[in-house]
Structure 1
């Protein structure tokens, strides 16, 4: 049976009169959409209050990024019965979103105005930008796989119940997928009380993968059988708008202002790695870890789409101001375990050397102390991780010491920092190095070493060999403007599955940019540096 209801009924399905509050029943509410949500659960679900007076309407939505919601475009249409066309820009009606408040009578969570709409023209879907970022609430993850027939999904929303006109609580229920095709997915409740009612338009449908929630659609229409005011209707199916096949578009819209929200002048350490997902799937860009001067620590998740202007899709605050990260003196990322994800190695101000074998949205995992406080590692000036030695199971650690000498420690995940190979002696000229990074520049089986010098030169030593001048390749000449590069990291920021030869630069101002695919062919002459700079901030 089709879940579609007549267009003429759609208007009633998404409008909720402001006078309706007087019709609340005194009896205990029993949600048609299922059970009342406990405080803190499905906190990414938002309630939208659109317009005032007789024109007021309510919808539900989902937080997909700190400053962006996704919901049904028909919530904002002038005449929803005539279609879901919405003009991009500020909403015509004043719209307020409440996020992270399962019980609307309380004052927790965030209340913010919607300041911009970005509609998707081919379906009942719109992105809604909030006036300020939402903190303390984890956005829902985006699903990239199509809903399968028979698959179970959860739906959460603030709509009407069978005996309550304007509920004070969010409710949720389990639904089964009947079919998914084109831009839509048909769903039906798994029990008699699971129905989508008025005010649930835009409500998220999501998978529960071991406590990780993955968005697959938002509600567009419903038969509303059994909802208050529709007691005579027996049909209970619903039609959702799919989001899985446009998840990349959602990311590209929601990440437009992501990097601009930070003051990059205060980014003290930057390291790139596959922290939040396995690099072997070839579908993701690298993530970026940032330790700020005030002790904050952030993780920027790599995007799944190909838009070069927006390489990251979300920011996760791992530590707050004043944390121990203000004592980090050198940071690098690498593969230190068999999990398929990357971790961090940190040289602290007190001489301690630590490795976190894994870093993700939830924080730092499995810290291993490689050298105790007060060790000789207080003399390590620069460090970088890479697969410098052939057939290594894990990344090696290359160190530039204060006296200008360099050392390499192989397979650090297993042997710690005990297996040292000295590469150069002190005063061999490497004390003029400002930054070092591992880069896949020459396309060999091992990583190459990139060094940025005080005089603006940037050079690559193929295979990580720092001995002598053999094989040294010039990337930027003496006096080049990279003297203003305050932080440099190398990774895959261009497109999913690419090599690690994009160079990201944090300048000594507030600017941030990267150079994609820096290879010998990308350097046109000895007088010029990499071309194709992509400005991210500034």
Structure 2
């Protein structure tokens, strides 16, 4: 079982906190659930992942081509069982495999997200550990799923099983059973959650245990896992037909419990054949869900970003810290998200639309965003905004929005905040009156490039190929200037700019998208010049023809602004999390194509 240090390393209080005893009404509900799931109903339940599949209690059919053999285990296992549900107004009884996860809350069960993404239609929803088709099919009874306590990643809910396949895992908190027993106490503990790092895909002597439709008992197989498509675990075991979705991949298995490091799901919801199964990688994404579930936070909701048809109209994107640190304490953060993720440096996103609308999206700390706050609706004035960028130009650790207008005016909107309401309520500072010079500016990017540690330095590209650094910009104007590239240079071909920390060492870097699709990072740009040039992408047709808007910020994973957001020509919005100066990071589809 995990020790206190394991939980503390995840930011979890290790103190056991079992669910409260059921009151009289809750106990009646638990007893009614137990009465509903008679041995015959359990036997007749069909797989959630294949409603036409073989019922749970039928004689096991022959699997496909033999890989590592699997075998039925008489009596089953204490920590492995089935989720059972009724769908379609009480007419369809279904099941998926699930297993107990060790936690201080003592009531967590893990399965596949694709089994649990439709819980608003579930009735009679409970977990039966150690199910077996005997005279005592529920040796530990049945544990009702807590209402509104199914934990799936919000991006999975938004993208679905195909596009969100690397997030195909879920946790469920369960109540006490009909005997008022706590799950972990009844079964003697759970399986420790094990995370899979880049070098951990190969696990020797791993066990895969699940309930295929047609199996009277769970099937067990021992084999070695390996990496598939860089994002999934693969295991070759015979006989894992529908019903086994959610089956745990177990390391250090002693016949009673072990370390769960995967569940059948992910690629093609676990695989198209019965002899090869897959799992999404257990990385920081499942760690976040686990912490949510243990701490009884509100589950994610489907992404509120909308669809690609809308995002085709995103004209510009910038990131920043758009909240008042003095007013945003831990209590407010817990109320807003369920956890104070802002301590990890999460940023937010402002989007300018081609109809003049301006929107603020709150970062959720997991490479996603909450529903937008409209700073101003469609209007003719903001249609004339040519470029936007954000930084701390006026002090106070709260970001300001800088706007370049088509007439050459440069404006600063001080301390933009969630609670600002309309942008018209934000103090406006004019840095440049309308003028002929700044009409020729083509792009802006803000970072900490010199002078002080604040993001108050501005890189500007001009239509004649000049690139300029202005450092220590403040409310009184644009001051110290350093020429980075002369007029007539290759910088005439710079299509867009953004900044972040892609090279480490807490120094800001400039990332440039060129007209031929090349993507370049200039590490540690500063007063002395551009710094070292690193090619992230060679010239290519995809980024040349289809990348429309590029921005960077700190949206998840670590606390550095190394997450790159791209809006494509078809409206798709993609994030490359934890990117470096030489390679794009893991890809997340935030908005599917329109």
TM-score (norm 2): 0.47
Q: Which residue of 2 aligns with 1:389?
A: 450
1:61-460 → structure 2 map (5 Å cutoff)? 117=120, 123-125=146-148, 253-260=300-307, 263-276=310-323, 278=325, 281-283=342-344, 285-304=346-365, 306=366, 308=367, 311-361=368-418, 362-364=421-423, 365-460=426-521
Closer/same/farther in 2, CA of residues 282 and 91 from structure 1, 3 Å limit = farther
For 2:319 and 2:86, how far apart are their aligned partners in 1?
35
Question: What is the deviation of 1:406?
Answer: 1.5
* RMSD, matched Cα: 3.8
CA deviation profile, 1:478-528 (whole Å, cap 9, x unmatched): 225211210000112233x521111110011111101111114x63xxxxx
For 2:295 and 2:541, how far apart are their aligned partners in 1?
37
For 1:506 and 1:370, how far apart are their aligned partners in 2?
29
CA deviation profile, 1:74-119 (whole Å, cap 9, x unmatched): xxxxxxxxxxx99698899xxxxxxxxxxxxxxxxxxxxxx98288
Closer/same/farther in 2, CA of residues 518 and 368 from structure 1, 3 Å limit = same
Question: What is the deviation of 1:436?
Answer: 0.9
For 2:520 and 2:461, how far apart are their aligned partners in 1?
15
For 1:252 and 1:470, how far apart are their aligned partners in 2?
44
Closer/same/farther in 2, CA of residues 443 and 117 from structure 1, 3 Å limit = same
Question: What is the deviation of 1:415?
Answer: 4.6
Question: What is the deviation of 1:533?
Answer: 1.6
Closer/same/farther in 2, CA of residues 271 and 6 from structure 1, 3 Å limit = same
Gaps of 5+ in 1: 12-84, 93-114, 130-243, 524-529
State the SS of the aligned residue for 1:482: helix
CA deviation profile, 1:425-446 (whole Å, cap 9, x unmatched): 1012101100111121111343
State the SS of the aligned residue for 1:270: strand
Closer/same/farther in 2, CA of residues 125 and 319 from structure 1, 3 Å limit = same
Q: Does the CA contact (< 8 Å) of 1:390 and 1:446 recur in 2?
A: no
CA deviation profile, 1:428-469 (whole Å, cap 9, x unmatched): 210110011112111134311111111111111122259888
TM-score (norm 1): 0.52
State the SS of the aligned residue for 2:496: strand
For 1:449 and 1:347, how far apart are their aligned partners in 2?
19
Whether 2:25 is the aligned partner of 1:7: answer yes
Correspondence for 1:534 among 588, 591, 594 = 588
Closer/same/farther in 2, CA of residues 469 and 377 from structure 1, 3 Å limit = closer
Question: What is the deviation of 1:423?
Answer: 2.2
State the SS of the aligned residue for 2:312: helix
Query: Counting helix residues as a fraction of each chain, which structure ranks higher?
Result: 2
Correspondence for 1:471 among 523, 532, 540 = 532
State the SS of the aligned residue for 2:524: helix
Query: Counting strand residues as a fraction of each chain, which structure ranks higher?
Result: 1
Q: Does the CA contact (< 8 Å) of 2:316 and 2:387 recur in 1?
A: yes
Question: What is the deviation of 1:413?
Answer: 2.2
Closer/same/farther in 2, CA of residues 123 and 321 from structure 1, 3 Å limit = same
Q: Does the CA contact (< 8 Å) of 1:387 and 1:396 recur in 2?
A: yes
Closer/same/farther in 2, CA of residues 338 and 246 from structure 1, 3 Å limit = farther
